[in-house]
Amino acid sequence: MPTEPRVAVIRGDGIGADVTDATLNIINAALNKVGASPFTCDDIHAGAAYFAETGRDIETDGETRAGDADAIFLGAIGLPSIRHEDRTEISPHLRLRDRFQLYAGVRPVRAYPNAPQRLADPRAAGLDLVIIRESTEGLFYTAAVHNRSIVEGEVTAPDAVSDIMRITASTTRKLHEFAFNMTRRRRDRGRAGKLTCVDKANVFKSQAFFRTLFDEVAQKHQDIDTSYNYVDAMALDMVRQPWEFDVMVMENMFGDILSDLAGGLVGGMGMAACGEIGDETGLFQPAHGSAPDIAGTDRANPLAAILSGAMMLDYLAQKCDLPLYEQAAGLIEDAVAKGFAANALRPMEFGGDMGTRAVTDEVLTQIANG
């Protein structure tokens, strides 16, 4: 008997609250439309503003409660004006990735009609790809847990500071396994179904290891077309011929950078949805930041958050055995696509006339008519 899911909600900083409210609105409408009961929310305070107030970056029991939920939704965390002594920003989010081992960062990139296309080539109109960014180790390893011990490789001598690129077999095997399975699912839904391993195996031992593990996992998935690309060449191809790619898998920092680049190709960060998935739970967040300059002014584009919310519904559908949740996710994705096709979604982020509420209302209208 499926149980009613529980979602930990972290609105966080800046526009985090604006886009989270918009997303919860949309999700409730979609669940209602398909006749599914809503999930319960557990609001957790966290972020840079919370840190400035309390000296803690998340509520005392916040991490435990986040882990008790079936999924976590996060608006945005971080304020450039509030930092640790070493000048890095407040990022409890990185610790959540580490604590719950959310290794598979899924970042879909899709072109919509009437949304800006930064590439003149007509093939850019059909862009539809996914970056899978490992999200717990790689070059973020020392940053994941703030001030992770020097014993584990961080050097903080006065005249040199090192972060390390850590690639472990256990996480990387799971990551590649996830990537192959996602590629197959996409192929079954009519997409290209090709997987590219993006690395820097020509230079770094850790990256050669990443590729070796890719080859090893590929043996079990011989029905999937694979290729390799060095990360610098991938940056070039992302601009030159992104339509040649379907699913790409890479270490943490490469994925952080290339997913912003890819988001730019289809408009901007307001389109950059993200799900970070581990074996036990998933965290869903728009990959844009907190944009404090426009917080609370009804100008943020909520679509990345809304699309991340749809990813969360898909995830909950599988995890909690709730097929209606998958339908609701599809309804939201279609509503966004139809809204753009009708040129009825014109976010201010792209020079349009629609703020957070107007964009949300249009998606609601599309859902109602869907």
Residue 194 identity: K
- Shortest separation between residue 289's beta carbon and ligand IPM, angstroms: 6
- Angle (deg, nearest 10), helices 356-369 and 303-319: 50
With binding defined as CB under 6 A, does residue 256 bind ligand IPM? yes
226 binds ligand IPM (CB under 6 A): no
| CA-based max dimension of the chain | 62
User: Which of these segments, 88-96, 153-161, 171-179, 208-216, binds ligand IPM (CB under 6 A)?
Assistant: 88-96
96 binds, among Mg ion, ligand IPM, none (CB under 5 to 8 A by kind): none
Question: Does 196 interact with ligand IPM (rule: CB under 6 A)?
Answer: no
- Judged by beta carbon, residue 29 or residue 71, the one nearer ligand IPM is 71
* 194-199 and 6-12 strand pairing: unpaired
Looking at the Cβ atoms of 94 and 306, the one nearer to Mg ion is 94
DSSP 61-90: THHHHHHHSSEEEEEE---TT-B-TTSPBP
Region binding ligand IPM by CB under 6 A among candidate stretches 48-56, 91-99, 204-212, 297-305: 91-99
Quick check: 197 binds ligand IPM (CB under 6 A)? Answer: no
Using alpha carbons only, what angle is made at residue 10 by residues 31 and 171, rounded to the nearest 5 degrees? 95
| Site residues, Mg ion (CB under 5 A) | 256
Contact status: 237 vs ligand IPM (CB under 6 A): no
As a whole number of angstroms, the distance between CA 226 and CA 247 comes to 10
> 63 contacts which partner out of Mg ion, ligand IPM, none, CB within 5 to 8 A by kind?
none
CB of 261 to ligand IPM, least distance (A): 12
Instruction: Work out what residue 2 binds among Mg ion, ligand IPM, none; the CB cut-off runs from 5 to 8 Å by kind.
Output: none
**Residue 125 is encoded by which pair of tokens?**
């109109």
The Cα 103–Cα 316 span in angstroms is 18
The residue of the chain with the least Cβ separation from Mg ion equals 256
168 binds, options Mg ion, ligand IPM, none, Cβ within 5 to 8 A by partner type? none
Counting Cα atoms < 13 Å in the Cβ hemisphere of 259 gives 31
| 47 contributes a contact to ligand IPM by CB under 6 A | no
Does position 130 interact with ligand IPM (CB under 6 A)? The reply is no
Q: Considering the complex, state which of residue 137 and residue 256 has its C-beta at the smaller distance from Mg ion.
A: 256
End-to-end CA distance of the chain: 28
Q: Which two tokens stand for residue 73?
A: 């939704």
Give whichever of 57 and 256 is closer to ligand IPM, judged by the CB atom: 256
How far apart are CB 9 and ligand IPM at their closest, in Å? 17
Which of 239, 272, 249 minimizes the C-alpha distance to 131?
Answer: 249
| Shortest distance (Å) from residue 330 CB to Mg ion | 27
Minimum Å gap between C-beta 286 and ligand IPM is 9
Distances (CA, A) of 23 to 28, 37, 286, 359: 9, 16, 10, 11
Q: What's the Rg (C-alpha) of the chain?
A: 20
Residue 331 CB, shortest distance to Mg ion, in Å, is: 28
Min. distance of Cβ 262 from ligand IPM in angstroms?
12
Backbone angles phi, psi at 360, to 5 degrees: -60, -45
Of the candidates 48, 98, 78, the residue with the CA atom closest to the CA atom of residue 286:
78
Cα separation, 76 vs 341, whole angstroms: 28
Kindly state the smallest distance separating residue 73's Cβ from ligand IPM, in Å.
Answer: 14
Among 12, 14, 47, 78, binds ligand IPM (CB under 6 A): 78
- Which residue, 208 or 269, has its beta carbon nearer to Mg ion? 269
Neighbour order of strands in the sheet with 194-199:
40-43, 6-12, 71-76, 282-284, 275-277, 104-110, 128-134, 247-250, 194-199, 225-230
- Give whichever of 132 and 217 is closer to ligand IPM, judged by the CB atom: 132
Q: Six-digit token pair at 362? A: 């249009």
Between 283 and 322, how does the x/- string for binding to ligand IPM read (CB under 6 A)?
A: ----x-x---------------------------------
Residues that bind ligand IPM (CB under 6 A): 78, 91, 93-94, 256, 287, 289
